[in-house]
Structure formats: structure tokens, C-alpha cells
Structure 1
Amino acid sequence: MSERVDWAAMTDDEFIALIQQLMEPSADDPDEEE
């Protein structure tokens, strides 16, 4: 990952949302479907 994430500043919800995005097959560009 080239992005630097301030994990300590993240809330649990933000962390979970980020992980879910990373696990999705279309995580590269979700908006591209439309």
C-alpha cells in the first residue's frame, strides 16, 4: 500500500469500512460500474 493511514486516529467503523473496501473485487474504482 502506497497510502499512509493513521490507524490510531481511525474509529472502529472507519477501519471496518476500509477493510471491506479492500476486500471487494471492484475496490480499484467502484464508481466505474456506472
Structure 2
Amino acid sequence: MNERVDWAAMSDEEFIALVRQLMDTPADWEPEEN
């Protein structure tokens, strides 16, 4: 995967959706850090 992602410009929802897509995690997963 060679995509460059501007993480700082992402909203939390976008970030979580991307992580779920990449990691195939459950929909109720929430980040412990913010």
C-alpha cells in the first residue's frame, strides 16, 4: 500500500472507518487514545 494519508486532516470517524477497513475490526471498536 503506497497511499499517503494525511492522518491529521482526517476526522475521528474517517480514521476509525479506515482502521476498521484495514484491520477488519468489529464495528464497536473504539480507540483508547485520543
Give the TM-score range, shorter chain: 0.5 to 0.7
User: How many pairs does the alignment contain?
Assistant: 24
Which structure dedicates a bigger proportion of its chain to helix?
1
Identity %: 75
Q: Normalising by structure 2, report the TM-score.
A: 0.62
Q: Taking CA–CA contacts closer than 8 Å with sequence separation of 6 or more, which of the two structures ends up with the larger relative contact order?
A: 2
Specify every segment of 5 or more residues in structure 2 that has no aligned partner in the other structure, as ranges. 25-34
Q: Normalising by structure 1, report the TM-score.
A: 0.62
Supply the RMSD in Å over aligned alpha carbons.
0.9
Deviating beyond 6 angstroms after TM superposition, the runs of 4 or more aligned structure 1 residues are none
